Each structure stands twice: as C-alpha cells, then as structure tokens.
Amino acid sequence: MVHLKTAEEIQIMRESASILAKTHGEVARLIKPGVKTRTLDKKAEEFIRDNEGIPSFLNYNGFPASLCISVNETVVHGFPGEYELKETDIVTIDCGVKFKGYHSDAAYTYPLEGVRSEVLDLLNRTYDSLYKGIEQAKAGNRIGDVSNAIQSYVEQFGYGVVRELVGHGVGKSLHEDPEVPNYGKRGKGPKIVPGMVFAIEPMINMGTKQVVQERDGWTIRTSDRKPSAHFEHTVAIHEDRTEVLTTHEDIEKNYSYKWRSKSR
C-alpha cells in the first residue's frame, strides 16, 4: 500500500532532508586517504543527534551503524570499521535521518583523487542517470518510466544494472511502497500520483549486473569485483512539479576534490 503524504507531512520531510543534507556535507569534509570509515560514521551520528534527528539506519533490522559505507566493488550496505580509505578508492556514503517521525534517504559515491578515468566515467554516468530518472518521476507517469530512463541511459555504456536492490517509498517507515527498480519498461508499474514520496537510487556496476551477499548478511558486492556506483535522492510528487527533497549541494561545496569536471 502506498501512503500518500499531506502537505504538512512533506514539510516535515523537508526538514528531515535538510538535516540529512547537512550531515552528508559534514562527512564530505572528512573524506581523504588514511581516514577510517568508522570516523565518518561517528561524525554522522553525532551531527544527526546534535540536530534533533535520529539515524535511520542504526539498528534497522540489526544494522550496526548510522552510515552504510561501501568501498569499490561493494554496492551497498557496507559496514563502517577500521578500513582506511586509499587514494584510488571510490566510497559510497548512504545515510538516512528520522525527524519528527519521518525519514529521508540519500546516497553519494565519492572518488578519491587517484581514481582512474574510466571509474570517474562510471560515477558521472550513474550520477546523470539519477537525474534521468527524476525527470520521469512526475504525476501521470508510471514507475516504469523512471526505471527505464535509468536503465536505457546506463546500459548504452555497457554497465550492469543491479536487479536485487531497488529504490522505495519513504515516510514514517524508511522503506515503503512503491518499489522503484532501476530497470523496467515504460508505461508499466504503479501510476505516479501527487502525495507520493520515494527514493530513486541507481546502483550501477562497471561490469556484470550480478551481485553476491557477504557472510555478514548485509554487505552486497559485485560478483566480478569491478567497481559499483550509487547515488540517491528522496523526491516528493506534487500536481505540477517534482520536488527533490534531498540535496548534494553541501557535499559538492565541502568535498575538496571537484571530480564532476574531471571525466572524459
């Protein structure tokens, strides 16, 4: 069942998304070679709580951290820990905030400065695919229009679109209906109507679309161990427009490596 949001609920979700954006911005300041991933997680939890939010991911079905931190071939759900970032890494930071009972959700994949140009291409194209999907997320369209826009864009470059993990509705629960796959057919799936709020999150692999789950029961990586990129926004559907509740502006302002201009 899709839970449509009132204007008042969407306003609370804007506030949640604002805390989330600022949290991402604070984490962005710290990302550099030699930093342990648990340091990033600690910063995120402290900042969220200092701003009267609750980390959405912490203890969610037993997940042990406030951030999912996924490095290189890890697609999603990586655990923060003692791993120290290297200059050739890419690292995805996925975070959620609960504020006044409502969640927001956003993710961003960072390249460190030693990343190869073809990996930067993957990141740039995955980032672009997110906005291709958002363009189709409007009242009167169907979820399949969003899904197909993402899939058709990235597959022309030979990338693999992950099937097992999808975007999702967001609200009082972190994961609600509808599911928002990153693959599908135009004109198919649930109709998009005003009041829907959902996360669009392309997870795109440099190689095969196939993934495996590690023994920890959470971490998902590419089966061929090639890099994977992941970007995510939470969007709200209005009658006359689509509102992107989350933003990457704080990330792009605070992260020292201005990588978006570095791709071929």
Task: Give the pLDDT confidence of 92-150 residue by residue, as tens digits.
Answer: 999 999 999 999 999 999 999 999 999 999 999 999 999 999 999 999 999 999 999 99
pLDDT by residue (tens digit) across 16-30?
999 999 999 999 999
CA distance 119 to 222: 15
- Give the residue-averaged pLDDT of 2-11: 97
**Residue 248, pLDDT score:** 96
**Terminal CA-CA length for the chain:** 43
Q: pTM value?
A: 0.96
- DSSP 3-state of 195: coil
Dump pLDDT digits (tens) for 166-204: 999 999 999 999 999 999 999 999 999 999 999 999 999
What is d(CA 241, CA 139) in angstroms, rounded to the nearest whole number? 8
Domains located in the chain, CATH noted: 7-261 (3.90.230.10)
CA distances, 173 to each of 74, 102, 152, 200 (Å)? 25, 7, 30, 16
Instruction: Write out pLDDT tens, residues 46-76.
Output: 999 999 999 999 999 999 999 999 999 999 9
Break the chain down into helix, strand, coil percent, rounded to 5.
30, 25, 40
